[in-house]
């Protein structure tokens, strides 16, 4: 688990047009520079917002990433819900602090 580096990559991608250019040109070369597990790598390569949410990516980083991917609002919200259904509660980070998974 290297949630820190997943978030770092997405943070840099969200804010830096040069990183985005590299991401668009070929994700594998960019992803090689970060310490990612195979699951994390696949989730980012495939833009799997639901799984990234369950992994514990901070929602603010993930929301900007979903916008960068061009996901409409409802698709993005549904992706997080589907992620929890498929993969279970958020595993780490701020959102795992809610034990019941709901407010």
Residue ranges binding another protein (CB under 8 A): 4, 7-8, 11, 14-15, 53, 58-64, 67-68, 70, 73, 77, 80-81, 84, 94-95, 97-98, 102-103
Please say which residue, 31 or 49, places its beta carbon nearer to another protein. 49
Q: How far is the CB of 1 from another protein (least distance, A)?
A: 15
Q: How far is CA 14 from CA 45, 64, 78, 85, in A?
A: 15, 6, 21, 27
Which tokens in the block code for residue 55?
């992994």
Q: What angle do CA 67, 83, 102 make, to 5 degrees?
A: 100
Q: How far is the CB of 19 from another protein (least distance, A)?
A: 12
């Amino acid at each position: 688990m290297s949630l820190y580096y997943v978030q770092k990559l997405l943070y840099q991608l969200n804010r830096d047009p040069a990183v985005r250019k590299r991401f668009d040109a070929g994700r594998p070369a960019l992803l090689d520079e970060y310490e990612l597990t195979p699951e994390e790598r696949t989730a980012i390569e495939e833009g799997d917002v639901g799984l990234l949410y369950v992994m514990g990516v901070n929602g603010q980083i993930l929301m900007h990433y979903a916008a960068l991917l061009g996901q409409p609002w409802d698709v993005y919200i549904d992706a997080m819900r589907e992620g929890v259904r498929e993969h279970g509660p958020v595993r780490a980070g701020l959102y795992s602090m809610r034990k019941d998974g709901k407010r």
